[in-house]
Amino acid sequence: MDNPFAVLGPHRDAEGTLVIRAVQPAARSVDIHLVASGATHPMRRRDEGMFEATLPASAGAGIPDYRLRVRFGSGQELEIDDPYRYGRVLTDFDLHLFGEGTHLRAYDKLGAHRTTLGEATGVHFAVWAPNADRVSVVGDFNGWDGRVHPMRLLAPSGVWEIFIPDVPDGEKYKFEIRTKAGAILEKTDPFGVAFEAPPQTASIVYDLSRYQWGDAEWMGERPGQGGWLDRPVAIYEVHLGSWARMAEDGDRFLTYRELADRLVPYVKEMGFTHIELLPVMEHPFSGSWGYQVLGFFAPTSRYGPPEDFKRLVDECHRAGIGVILDWVPGHFPRDVHGLARFDGTALYEHADPRQGEHQDWGTLIFNYGRNEVRNFLLSNALFWLEEYHVDGLRVDAVASMLYLDYSRREGEWIPNQYGGRENLDAIEFLRRLNTLTHGEHPGTITAAEESTAWPGVSRPVHLGGLGFTYKWNLGWMHDVLEYASKDAIFRRWEHNLLTFSGLYMFTENFVLPLSHDEVVHGKGALIDKIAGDAWRKYATLRTLYGYMYGHPGKKLLFMGGEFAQWREWNHDRSLDWHLLDDPAHAGIRRYVQALNSVYQGEPALHECDAEPSGFRWIDCHDSENSVISFLRAGRGGREPVALVFNFTPVARHDYRIGVPDEGFYAELLNSDSELFGGANVGNGGGVPSDLVASHGFDHSIRLTLPPLGCLMLKRR
């Protein structure tokens, strides 16, 4: 039945008699109560729980205000405002925009929303299910009986809606869908803003407007933060469920509120500029770390209600910390209560498995060519930036979206209309995503996890690029970790792993990621990847971090890396915070803190991250000693910083490098400082320059390079 309103509710028959019908299968009896007169009229039972009453002429010529008095076998009696006496809510314009994929605020129209019609306040439910035979709202308020509240189909949009008066916040609900084949499906709301805690799966009616934000200063300045390319960006990547746990309380998760009180001050103390959260959108399986999303519009209830997540974002902003969310438009899980075959057909996904399935991950691929699906995802991106004040989205698995043959053998994929392997619909979707987010919310950023040589990922759309603010530099990450895994005696033959990034470091706006992906699945912790004994591991890790902070590109470090956790990350356990009792681990943490301070304080280290004018090799050829050196400079060449890295466990004395100007070169940072767990091998705070030409400069300095050490020097 696609229009239950044609049968249920009040109707005038051919003679003008008022007939009211209601479906209450669990009721013993139902009466009509006329509000104005107080009169009561019994309804007679018909088949399938249908009740019907014919009102006398004295009831009036129009449709009177009435209620249904429902008595159940248990003796319970309810007075119900009949939803079938109310007209439609969604306008033809809403449906037109949704159908053409341009309704930027579709989340305000679909889903469950508190609404007032006339004198009645209730919840308007709307869902897209164009191929369903019938759609009903089911929940605690109707005994989960799909016969009670069937919805109206707004043809030809495929959207079903109903307004149900008096439904309070906190009510659990789903959409019961009867397919054309007669199967009954119970689906969670694709636009639901709150969910039960897993493993329960119902959506929850929730009013998101209650939270009072306190970040007006941050949000007011955000439009002017569009210049993130020349500002310091040091990102602390976090999985909320395992950053820390309450061991004394059954090893439970920290709540959003507890994270706001503990995580935010920690990130501020460490000097990071941003926090990036592994997906917080509701997901059924914790082992997916959030990357198999079911509730795209709902922060997971594992850590608390939606307003508590808002408080976490709010506290970040008050502390001057930006918030980036990992966002997953590349695929979704097959859970039967989710988006998969939502109305009995391939609605959000492609029907052909050669286009619609990620065989590696066991997930389904969005149909980016379908207007309504594209609208769902685009409005979702805007939702997080607007409703939750999020400052950026890191888009997961972009390579899997761009290529039709991603991780597929011959015959397992379908070429595009020109015979190529590029997913033209996904490309257009990503360009639209970046155009919208940057246009609608200036000052926000987008970052692509993209592992191939696709050109122009972070170039503007109007110049033919995809339009992302940043691209993750996964090539740099793989090379430096491979290099660090080599014994120092063999590094002279692997020198190109350190220097190869110089060939492409300015082809994109890069983020240098040492992310969660590098410390899971048997890969071990960062420090455990490094060759040598414990001393060499700690020292090399400090030098590696120094290289990341000196190299052009923004910085990202996964939690636990800042104090050199030995154990591979496990999403089911807290980080090993007890390691900070060990001076070696405490030294690494102080070192990362110092790196963040120098990085933010020196324009040379961040202003020209995406411009060749801010970088010059001093010497990239000293493979015999496994030493590299280069200059970073701010805009216009101002305040240059010289950086030198020794990747052998041998101190280098009287090591000469060229410098651009005469003067005293002070050590901004020495990774071998005792403060960081080193042996204080260095230059006593700095060295004067000599009028001795070297490396193309008229002046030079003679240095003592600490073993497995990093030096940052600046002319005073």
Residues annotated as part of the active site: 396, 449
Burial of 576 (0-12, 13-18, 19+ CB in 10 A): middle
Question: Across the strands, what pairs with 204?
Answer: 172
Q: Reduce the secondary structure of 209-255 to three states and give it as a string.
A: HHCCCCCHHHHHHHHHHHHHHHCCCEEEEECCCCCCEEHHHCCEECC
Quick check: helix, strand or coil at residue 78?
strand
Burial of 639 (0-12, 13-18, 19+ CB in 10 A): middle
Tokens 């239950």 correspond to what residue? 4
Tokens 């859970």 correspond to what residue? 335
Q: What is the DSSP annotation of 376-405?
A: HHHHHHHHHHHHS---EEEETTHHHHHBTT
Rounded Cα–Cα distance for residues 457 and 465 (Å): 6
Tokens of 699: 């002046």
440 sits in the region (left: phi over 0; alpha: psi -120 to 50; else beta) called alpha
Q: Taking a C-beta distance cutoff of 8 angstroms, is the pair 381, 436 a contact?
A: yes
DSSP 4: G
Q: What is the DSSP annotation of 631-670?
A: EE--GGG-S-EEEEEE-SSS-EEEEEEEESS-SEEEEEEE
Q: Taking a C-beta distance cutoff of 8 angstroms, is the pair 286, 572 a contact?
A: yes
**In one letter, which amino acid is 320?**
G
Rounded Cα–Cα distance for residues 353 and 364 (Å): 9
Q: Taking a C-beta distance cutoff of 8 angstroms, is the pair 343, 131 a contact?
A: yes
Return the exposure string of 496-535: e unless at least 16 CB atoms fall within 10 Å of the residue's CB, then b. Answer: ebbbebbeebbbbbbbbbbbbbbbbeeebbbbbbbbbeee
374, 257, 346: which is closest to 306 by C-alpha?
Answer: 257
Rounded Cα–Cα distance for residues 161 and 401 (Å): 32
Q: Taking a C-beta distance cutoff of 8 angstroms, is the pair 659, 689 a contact?
A: yes
Quick check: helix, strand or coil at residue 430?
helix
Cα-Cα end-to-end distance for the chain: 81
C-alpha separations of 84 from 9, 50, 359, 494 in Å:
4, 13, 45, 74
286, 282, 284: which is closest to 309 by C-alpha?
Answer: 282
Tokens of 663: 């003067």
Rounded Cα–Cα distance for residues 358 and 355 (Å): 8
Helices 371-387 and 92-100, packing angle to 10 deg: 100
Rg of the chain taking only CA atoms, in angstroms:
31
Q: Reduce the secondary structure of 398-413 to three states and give it as a string.
A: HHHHHECCCCCCCCCC
How many residues belong to the chain? Answer: 716
* Angle, vertex CA 48, rays to CA 44 and CA 54, nearest 5: 25
